[in-house]
Amino acid sequence: MSPQTFAQIIITLSAVAAGWSLFLNFLLLLMEEIKNYSIMDRKKERKPRRGPDREALFSEPLRCWKRPGAMMEM
């Protein structure tokens, strides 16, 4: 085998190894992004529902308990 053929084989093998390394690195990054973008994370990011304000409901004695949106009696 001539030295030129040997050098071509080495260069080709190193190029293939570099290509596989880049491809696997890309796959690893992609899998990491998919793992970070799970359904549970998206549910956590949503704003919580606005329920009735506890402090407004129970600010007065129980006989004057108010419903949200109801008119107050004077």
Q: Is residue 58 part of a domain?
A: no
Please report the pLDDT score of residue 37 as a whole number. 76
Report whether 73 contacts 60 (CB < 8 A).
Answer: no
Q: Is residue 9 part of a domain?
A: no
Q: How many domains does the structure of the chain reveal?
A: 1
Report whether 36 contacts 44 (CB < 8 A).
Answer: no
Q: Is residue 5 part of a domain?
A: no
pLDDT tens, position by position, 21-70: 999 999 999 998 888 776 665 666 666 666 666 666 666 655 555 566 66
Q: What predicted TM-score, i.e. pTM, was given to this entire model?
A: 0.45
- Structural domain harbouring 38: 20-45
Q: Is residue 37 part of a domain?
A: yes
**Mean confidence (pLDDT) of the chain:** 77
Tokens of 73: 């009696």
One-letter amino acid of 1? M
Report whether 68 contacts 57 (CB < 8 A).
Answer: yes
Q: Is residue 55 part of a domain?
A: no
Q: Is residue 15 part of a domain?
A: no
Only one residue has tokens 């290509």, namely 19
